[in-house]
Amino acid sequence: MKLLFKQRLFSWFDSYDIYDEAGNVAFVVKGRLSWGHLLEIYDAAGYHIGTLKEEIFHFMPRFSMYFGDQYVGQIRKEFTFFKPSFQLDCNGWQVSGDLFSWNYQVYEPSGNIVMSAEKQIFNWTDTYVIDIAHTENALISLMIVLAIDAANCEKRD
């Protein structure tokens, strides 16, 4: 399954449209007023299905992930000097990425790939192509991409 993650050009808060391979809206992400990033995820029918919430008062960016109201894990940026590193506390998965965090993969403990994300650099807004091995991991994969993008936005600001 592939998803196209595209940030909206004109919005006060972080807002994204997520499209499937056929160009249909698969998810809508709406930013809410909050201390730190607060992103609510809706399915194509408009039902709230997940939330990504930045935990403030930490030295490095840290995000909690929820399916509905159920906590499912956390992703946090690790302190490194050269190459950005993220620690994922969810399903035993690991994140591996490039020097700029524009391209990265998530792996199961067995080494099987869960998803890969590639940033499209010649666009007006943040745009990623997300390739997900199994459809049931689409929501959590989207949350991981949103968290890494938000952490990178903080670095640019």
Strand, helix or coil at 142? helix
Q: Look up residue 76 and give its two tokens.
A: 């946090």
Count helices and strands in the chain by DSSP H and E runs: 1, 12
Q: Which of 73, 69, 115, 117 is nearest to 92 (CA)?
A: 73
The conformational region for residue 121 under phi > 0 = left, psi -120 to 50 = alpha, else beta, is alpha
Residue 41's pLDDT is 96
Q: Is the pLDDT of residue 45 over 90?
A: yes
Q: State the average pLDDT over residues 130-153.
A: 91
Backbone φ and ψ for 43, nearest 5 degrees, come out as: -80, 180
Q: Exposure of 12 by Cβ count < 10 A (0-12 exposed, 13-18 middle, 19+ buried)?
A: exposed
pLDDT digits (tens, 9 = 90+) for 70-125: 999 999 988 777 667 888 999 999 999 876 667 889 999 999 999 999 988 776 66
Q: Exposure of 26 by Cβ count < 10 A (0-12 exposed, 13-18 middle, 19+ buried)?
A: buried
